[in-house]
Amino acid sequence: MPQNAPVPGDPEGGAVHGAPGDIVRRLIRALDGVPSPLLPSRLCSAVLGILPVKGLAISLTGDGNYATVLCASDQTASRLAEIQFTLGEGPGVRAAEVFAPVLAPDLAQGSDARRWPLFAPQAVEAGARAVYSLPLGRSTVVLGTMDLYRETPGTLGASDLRTALRAADAVTVLLASFDHSPTAGEGVAAWLHDAENYHTEVYQATGMIMSQLGLGADEAQALLRARAFREGRTATEVAREVIHRTTDFLEK
């Protein structure tokens, strides 16, 4: 796990500390009786309530691609997930690759800015100065990541990091139980399915670019992401234009 020295004055008492089982029970209580369409956003709100951060996003992995957003607490958190998906780099991408926490206490300068030269400036522009990404799942099965952010630089204190790791474990347990529990109901399965298809537009647009230019899937998606980066937009935004035929890669 990457180690970062505590920042002077960084608070350690902001989180609600507890054993993993306690956090699972707390999240279950927060989700009890919530209508299925509201479950993703309520899950993010409940997790945010126990962590000393500004916002978070929970993303699922699929087909080798990052950032299938299950829920995001705010626009900045959602934007961070989209930026990482578009660029293919960032703390969340790395956390999923190595299945370990990846902590970036200051994206505006120093080693974090150098490590992700494309992601870091866009993240700061979106309103995130520090990002902490935690993997979800087990070492042999990666479900996704939980990406936390703050508007100010600084690392997580030791106690808060422990709580964040326990919260990630709790989210993993909930995701696994939602997908298999006979009492979960079709609604839960439906929003998990919707999350898995979050970037369907990107895949559809990739197919259209492949047909236009005679490219393979990896090359076509790389072109789409490069266009998005060059124009300061997300891959999803560019993909929608391709699908609606308001942009054509043959013209560029």
Q: What is the pLDDT of residues 93-146, one digit of tens each?
A: 999 999 999 999 999 999 999 999 999 999 999 999 999 999 998 877 888 899
Percent pLDDT > 90 in the chain is 37
Q: Using one digit for the tens of pLDDT, what is the confidence trace for 152-169?
A: 999 999 999 999 999 998
Predicted confidence (pLDDT) at residue 92 exceeds the cutoff of 60:
yes
As a whole number, mean pLDDT of residues 75-93 equals: 92
Residue ranges of domains in the chain, CATH in brackets: 20-196 (3.30.450.40), 200-246 (1.10.10)
Predicted confidence (pLDDT) at residue 12 exceeds the cutoff of 80:
no
Per-residue pLDDT, 29: 85
Predicted confidence (pLDDT) at residue 2 exceeds the cutoff of 60:
no
Q: Which two tokens stand for residue 246?
A: 């308001």
Per-residue pLDDT, 17: 52
Per-residue pLDDT, 37: 72
Per-residue pLDDT, 136: 92
Per-residue pLDDT, 199: 60
Rounded to two decimals, the pTM is: 0.72
